[in-house]
């Protein structure tokens, strides 16, 4: 069967890429997150030297780091009239007054639920960069530095396990 020229060239590229990336999942990650990294010559080696780097983390990714989550709860759970906390963040992202009140009520009583953790769970598909933007908006430099340190140091090594 003869393929049209454009399709034929795409198959050749795909064959070349699959030769370089025997691990199909790695290839798919590169294709989805970094399509520009697939323009390589024969001298490049797969995986370690392809141009892959960690994709931007989502809030669901930071939820898997217990130490980070604990630190975020310590910084954002407390209620002080002069310090912006989880309520300001959640409100900015669209949580209604009733939802905020319900979350706040769940912090009292026999079973403690962290409102910060609940708020982050609700918005777990948002990129962490949106959370850092809120930190800048509300001048929560302490939380901003914590998140930046995690994105620079911890996230790339956690993601590298998938590569």
Average pLDDT (84-88) is 92
The CATH fold assigned to 59-160 is Death Domain, Fas (1.10.533)
Tell me if the pTM is above 0.85: no
pLDDT digits (tens, 9 = 90+) for 94-103: 999 999 998 8
pLDDT digits (tens, 9 = 90+) for 32-78: 555 554 544 444 344 444 445 668 899 999 999 999 999 999 999 98
Domain ranges of the chain: 5-49, 59-160
Region of 94 (left: φ > 0; alpha: ψ -120 to 50; beta: rest) is: left
Q: Which residue did the predictor score with more confidence, 22 or 156?
A: 156
Q: Rounded CA gap, 71 and 114, in Å?
A: 12
Long-range (24+ apart) CB contacts under 8 A made by 6-12 are none
């Amino acid at each position: 069967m003869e393929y049209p020229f454009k399709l034929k060239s795409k198959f050749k590229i795909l064959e070349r890429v699959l030769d370089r990336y025997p691990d199909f999942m790695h290839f798919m990650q590169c294709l989805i997150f970094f399509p520009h990294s697939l323009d390589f010559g024969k001298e490049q080696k797969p995986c370690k030297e392809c141009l892959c780097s960690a994709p931007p983390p989502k809030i669901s990714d930071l939820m898997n780091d217990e130490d980070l989550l604990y630190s975020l709860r310590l910084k954002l759970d407390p209620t002080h009239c002069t310090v912006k906390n989880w309520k300001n963040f959640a409100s900015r992202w669209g949580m209604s007054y009733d939802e905020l009140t319900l979350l706040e009520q769940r912090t009292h009583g026999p079973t403690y639920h962290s409102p910060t953790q609940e708020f982050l769970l609700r918005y777990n598909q948002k990129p962490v960069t949106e959370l850092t933007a809120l930190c800048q908006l509300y001048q929560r430099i302490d939380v901003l530095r914590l998140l930046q340190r995690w994105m620079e140091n911890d996230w790339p090594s956690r993601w590298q396990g998938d590569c």
